[in-house]
Amino acid sequence: MLQEDIEHPVKVLIVGNGAVGKSSMIQRYCKGVFTQEYKKTIGVDFLEKKLQVSGEDLRLMIWDTAGQEEFDSMTKAYYRDAEACVVAFSTIDRASFEAVKSWIGKVEAEVGSIPMVLIQNKIDLVDDAVMTKEEAEELAKEVKLKFYRTSVQENYNIDEVFKYLSELFVQRL
């Protein structure tokens, strides 16, 4: 097999407090669907998405926290060998915004420094935002992560987030 034909499997995590939209985002990105119905987990460990970035074939395996985040019981297996991470907070949930640094800390403690991106989801609800645009941008600057505003509901910026994360991953190959 030629070197160029290799498909790289990439374990991607989505971390953040409960209800910020992690499961919805995985379903949207991997299956192209969005459901209003509150769904705590997608019932599987991860969903897959294939994409090509900078001439490299990637197979993203995107892992959901499966609703364990409230109990601080994320298992070692969840973090093990993770190679990229989306850190998410919600426009309408101040606690999720304030938890961002501790999520980043947890990931770094478990797997070290890996490509990461920060997202503010539910941007369709911006009129009900519980943090200002400046606060969110300040946080992104502080944690030194590229920052996207997303809406899983409106399918806004979702592909872009994973494309950017994949580019960071490929740069390290």
Burial bucket for residue 113 (CB in 10 Å: 0-12, 13-18, 19+): exposed
The side-by-side arrangement of strands in the sheet containing 84-90 is 46-53, 56-63, 7-15, 84-90, 116-121, 147-149
> Can residue 124 be called a binding residue for ligand GDP (CB under 6 A)?
yes
Q: What residues are paired with 49 via a beta bridge?
A: 60
Helix (H, G, I), strand (E, B) or coil at 45: coil
> Can residue 47 be called a binding residue for ligand GDP (CB under 6 A)?
no
- Which is closer to ligand GDP, CB of 7 or CB of 160? 160
- Which is closer to ligand GDP, CB of 20 or CB of 161? 20
Question: Looking at 12, 15, 19, 60, which residue binds ligand GDP (CB under 6 A)?
Answer: 19
Question: Looking at 36, 75, 113, 132, which residue binds ligand GDP (CB under 6 A)?
Answer: 36
> Can residue 20 be called a binding residue for ligand GDP (CB under 6 A)?
yes
Phi, psi angle pair for 121, to nearest 5°: -90, 170
Binding site for ligand GDP (CB under 6 A): 18-24, 36, 38-39, 121-122, 124-125, 151-153
